[in-house]
Structure formats: structure tokens, C-alpha cells
Amino acid sequence: MRTGPVTPELLRASVIAVPPLARTEDFSLSIPDNRRIIEHIEKGGIRTLLYGGNANLYHLRPEEYGALLEIIAGAAAEETLVIPSVGPTYGTMMHQASLLAESMFPTAMILPMQGFTTSQGVAEGIRHFVESFGRPVVVYIKNLGYLDPEDVARLTEGGHVSFIKYAIVCADPAEDPYLNRLVEIVDPSIIVSGIGEQPAGIHREHFRLTGYTSGCVCLNPGLSQEMLRALNAGDIARADTIRKLFEPLEELRNSISPVRVLHEALHLAGIANTGPHLPLLSRLNDSERKAVEEAACNLLQLPTP
């Protein structure tokens, strides 16, 4: 596992894969299947893994956290950056800070808490966590009202931020007042598009964001990595051609559930046995599973155009 600092160059060099977390039928963490997922992603040239929402860390049992850190660090290749998440509640993230402080992870992502928060309060909580952890964090902006751009800028100026995952969904990604303001006061080289392949090209072209996170990259990592190369080369047309290849599975994720679809897609495509969803989620029904299997297998088999 890579332990050096996170730089804009790293963010440009690899798609940030956001994989699911494989479990056995008794809901315990599956060491061999999580290793299979990581190895499949790495074989496609991906060198950054982020464990967050797709891994359903929102509902992780506190006593599992240490085992999770050992599994994901131990399975990754020497040059792979691995980023765990913490939270989303203040108490949970502060409890996890002590475990992370003893680890070699260079950063961690703060899962966004919804409800009973203010922007100033979230910023204060992030500062507390960074002080305990001893390293800067990934700030995940998913909803309006969670963190004002000015508070994000102050956290960045204070050395509390390694990078920002931006994932507010807009009807037109090119028309985004929040992101317009954010890139005015925060260096866009430390901001990544956080909603997969679909808005990544627009976020690069219109807002100069550095890279992007993806769940579907876990199915065909080489294809997603080629899209990032095209964006880095300024070949927007080629990037858009590749982007469209991810649409069928992404549309199912959007219409059913991003987390549930991706979790089962990796199993249905034969990459790893991801096992049951950790409650409070449930399995797909038969018709959903059939559609997801077709889209996942098709994506897995696609060559780079």
C-alpha cells in the first residue's frame, strides 16, 4: 500500500475506484473476495481505491473497523493508494481516528452526515478529526448545505484537506453555481469529480477538476482508466465515446440503487462473491438482477475502443 502524500499528480494518474465490500453469508468480511476485487481493479491499471458509500461503511459495526483496515491495506499492491472512510457521525469518526492514527493510511475520507449539521459545525468536526488523526482528509461534498465553499476554502488553507470529492448532482453538470464558487476559491487541482464517468468530462472541461471517482470502474477498470487518459490528453471526444459505454449500468444504478446494483454487479459478472448487503440494505429482486447481470457482463467484456 502506498503511504506517501496525496498529490494532484496522483489524482490525475488514476481513476479513483470506489469498490463495494465483500461479505460472507453471515455478514462477516470476506478476505479472499475483497482481495479478488482489489486485484481485478489493479489489473486494469487503477492505483487508487476509496472505500466509502459503495462499501456501505455508513453501517459498519464499530468492532469491524480495525479488521477492515487490515484487509484493504494488506490486499493492495505496494504502489496502490488506499483510502478508508470514517463517520458519518461525529462520535464515530472520532472513535475511528485513534485506530487510523496508528495506521499507515496517508488520508481518510469523512462520510457526509445528513441532518443535524451546520457548515461551521461540520468544519469544526473535520478539524477535530484531523488533529486526532494527524493527517489531512478527503472532504466529500454530496449535498447543498453541508459545507459552504468558504468553509471548504478555510479548511484547505489550514492544511486539513488532502483533496475534495465533489458529488452534488445537477440536472445540467455544466450549470452548477456551487461548483463555480468552489473553484474560484479552492485550487481545482485538488478537486475530483465524484459521480462516476457520466459528468467527469464536463467537470474537467468546464471546471478544471483533476480526476474522478467511479464505481463502474470496478467492472472494467482498463476502460475507465483509458477515459481518464483521454481527458488528461484533452481528447474530449474520445473520452465521451468511452463514457457512453458505461451508461447502461449507470442508468440501472440511478434507477434502482447505486450501492445495491454495484455490489451485486461484481458478483453477477463473476469477479468476486460480494455476498449479502449489510442491513439496512436488501438484495435486488429477480427482474432487477437479470438486467444488472446483462449490463455488468457486457461492460466487463468491452474492449478499449
Counting beta carbons within 10 angstroms of the beta carbon of residue 43, is it exposed (0 to 12), middle (13 to 18) or buried (19 or more)?
Answer: exposed
**pLDDT, average across residues 164-172:** 97
pLDDT of 182 above 90: yes
**Cell numbers placing 275:** 455476498
pLDDT (0 to 100) of residue 33: 98
Distance between CA atoms of 198 and 216, rounded to whole angstroms? 11
Counting beta carbons within 10 angstroms of the beta carbon of residue 129, is it exposed (0 to 12), middle (13 to 18) or buried (19 or more)?
Answer: buried
**pLDDT, average across residues 165-176:** 97
Q: Which band of pLDDT confidence, cut at 50, 70 and 90, is reported for residue 149? A: very high
Q: Which band of pLDDT confidence, cut at 50, 70 and 90, is reported for residue 150? A: very high
pLDDT tens digits, 258-298: 999 999 999 999 999 999 999 999 999 999 999 999 999 99
pLDDT tens digits, 96-115: 999 999 999 999 999 999 88
Query: Average model confidence (pLDDT) for the chain?
Result: 97
**Cis omega (within 30 of 0) for bond into 32:** no
pLDDT (0 to 100) of residue 115: 86
Domain ranges of the chain: 8-301
**pLDDT, average across residues 169-189:** 98
Q: Which band of pLDDT confidence, cut at 50, 70 and 90, is reported for residue 37? A: very high
The superfamily in CATH containing domain 8-301 is Aldolase class I (3.20.20.70)
pLDDT of 304 above 90: no
pLDDT (0 to 100) of residue 256: 98
pLDDT (0 to 100) of residue 305: 79
Distance between CA atoms of 73 and 103, rounded to whole angstroms? 9
pLDDT of 204 above 90: yes
pLDDT tens digits, 40-93: 999 999 999 999 999 999 999 999 999 999 999 999 999 999 999 999 999 999
Nearest CA to 84 out of 113, 54, 125, 119 is that of 54
Nearest CA to 47 out of 7, 78, 22, 93 is that of 78
Helices 286-301 and 247-255: crossing angle, nearest 10°? 150
pLDDT (0 to 100) of residue 126: 98
